[in-house]
Homo-oligomer: A and B are copies of this chain.
Amino acid sequence: MVIVTKTDATQADIDAVVKRIESVGLKAQISTGERHTVIGVIGDKTLLGDIPIESMSGVDRTMPITAPFKLASREFKDEPTVIAVNDTKIGGRQVPVIAGPCAVESTEQIVTIARLVQKSGASFIRGGAFKPRTGPYSFQGYGEDALKMLQDAKDETGLGIVTEVMTPHEVELVGEYTDMFQLGTRNMTNFYLLREVGRAQKPVILKRGMSATIEEWLLAAEYILAEGNPDVILCERGIRTFETHTRNTLDLNAVPVIHELSHLPIVVDPSHGTGIRSLVCDMTKASVAAGADGILLEVHHDPDHSMTGDGAQSLFPDQFEALMQELKPIAIAVGREM
């Protein structure tokens, strides 16, 4: 950390800051510029804890030098993390696809869609049992019944299950069915939930908060890692900007950025990242080309009768099938396989 003092900071101010730093076993290194004195803090900055340096007299601001996440960082572990689920590896050469409807609506629906996406090459079936909805009057999911329907789809097809968990006390229940937990964008800062899935023994797909910086997202991952669960998969799903034509702005920059900062795999969800069916295929291709370690897609065989408004972004099964073929040469072009 570097501490920048105010132009009118006194020597006593600076001495007090230095003393504070040294009191926790760190070293201070002073650079005297023409206007500002800059104090470098040398050593393990966790020793600083929550000391509010910025509120000390004479201090203008502090600037971090090292990232605040550790277990999630490349510096902690340089080798990419590869997460094996059933026979699928996420984070390796393969680019697996997780596909399915927004919500599980019936056994027939989820089994039908599972068969269709499996035929086209998906590795996981996804579908919401517990649905986070902006308003209280929207369909909130069928809960445990839906989990059982997902189990039926798995039994029929062998596909792994991905489904969302929304609150700490349901982690155990959802964990009895799912192969990977999904944490939704609205729960990226639900810290109790992060800790609870951190204690579970299953991989976690952690969606980026819709206005989370990449650093905050990695800190949310750090909550899970710090509890002992090493299998975190980040998921870019679009961020909130001023643009209103699309539902979200898919931030594909995040894919190479995460690969630089972290060893964790990153998958992309172009369905939520655009919110518009006609944009999904192009953006899926872009995601694979950018280096995504996996793809999440909404697919519905009958979106006009789906139970959530997200039908408008679901691919039809034949679109999905064609897309899966079109992705192959792109994956190969970037050294991957589908």
Contact indicator A52/B278 (Cβ below 8 Å)? no
Instruction: Name, among A29, A136, A303, the residue most crowded by chain B CB atoms within 10 Å (CB to CB).
Output: A136
Contact indicator B46/A42 (Cβ below 8 Å)? no
Q: Is A11 an interface residue (CB 8 A)?
A: no
Contact indicator B282/A52 (Cβ below 8 Å)? no
Contact indicator B249/A334 (Cβ below 8 Å)? no
Q: Whose C-beta in chain B lies nearest to the C-beta of A302?
A: B55
A-B contact pairs, 22 of them (CB 8 A): A2-B2, A36-B65, A38-B65, A49-B307, A52-B306, A55-B277, A134-B219, A135-B222, A137-B222, A210-B211, A213-B245, A239-B242, A240-B242, A246-B257, A256-B279, A260-B278, A260-B279, A282-B289, A289-B290, A326-B334, A330-B330, A330-B334
Contact indicator B245/A242 (Cβ below 8 Å)? no
Q: Is A216 an interface residue (CB 8 A)?
A: yes
The contact size tier of chain A is 35 or more
Q: Whose C-beta in chain B lies nearest to the C-beta of A306?
A: B52
Contact indicator A33/B40 (Cβ below 8 Å)? yes
Known: A136-B219, A136-B226. 5 other contacts (CB 8 A): A52-B312, A57-B304, A134-B219, A187-B189, A286-B286
Task: Tell me which residues from 176 to 200 in chain A have a Cβ below 8 Å from any Cβ of chain B.
Answer: 186-187, 189-192, 195
**Known: A136-B226, A286-B287, A289-B285. Is A241-B246 also a contact (CB below 8 A)?**
no
Q: Specify which chain B residues have a CB less than 8 angstroms from the CB of A65 in the assembled complex.
A: 4, 33, 35-36, 38
Contact indicator A282/B255 (Cβ below 8 Å)? yes
Bound-state CA distance A66–B40 (Å) is 16
Q: Specify which chain B residues have a CB less than 8 angstroms from the CB of A166 in the assembled complex.
A: 191-192
Q: Whose C-beta in chain B lies nearest to the C-beta of A218?
A: B135
Instruction: Name, among A33, A169, A246, the residue most crowded by chain B CB atoms within 10 Å (CB to CB).
Output: A33
Task: Tell me which residues from 153 to 169 in chain A have a Cβ below 8 Å from any Cβ of chain B.
Answer: 166-169
Bound-state CA distance A310–B56 (Å) is 12
Contact indicator B46/A137 (Cβ below 8 Å)? yes
Q: Specify which chain B residues have a CB less than 8 angstroms from the CB of A187 in the assembled complex.
A: 189-190
Task: Tell me which residues from 6 to 27 in chain A have a Cβ below 8 Å from any Cβ of chain B.
Answer: 7
Q: Specify which chain B residues have a CB less than 8 angstroms from the CB of A44 in the assembled complex.
A: 34
Bound-state CA distance A164–B214 (Å) is 26
Q: Specify which chain B residues have a CB less than 8 angstroms from the CB of A242 in the assembled complex.
A: 211, 213, 239-242
Give which listed residue, B138, B213, B223, B310, contacts A244 with CB less than 8 A: B213
Bound-state CA distance A228–B257 (Å) is 42
Contact indicator A249/B246 (Cβ below 8 Å)? no
Q: Is A283 an interface residue (CB 8 A)?
A: yes
Q: Whose C-beta in chain B lies nearest to the C-beta of A35?
A: B66
Task: Tell me which residues from 91 to 138 in chain A have a Cβ below 8 Å from any Cβ of chain B.
Answer: 132-138
A125 to chain B, nearest CB (A): 20
Contact indicator A241/B244 (Cβ below 8 Å)? no
Q: Specify which chain B residues have a CB less than 8 angstroms from the CB of A49 in the assembled complex.
A: 139, 307
Give which listed residue, B52, B304, B334, contacts A285 with CB less than 8 A: B334
Instruction: Name, among A49, A52, A215, A257, the residue most crowded by chain B CB atoms within 10 Å (CB to CB).
Output: A52
Q: Specify which chain B residues have a CB less than 8 angstroms from the CB of A313 in the assembled complex.
A: 55
Q: Specify which chain B residues have a CB less than 8 angstroms from the CB of A66 in the assembled complex.
A: 33, 35-36
Q: Specify which chain B residues have a CB less than 8 angstroms from the CB of A312 in the assembled complex.
A: 52, 54-55
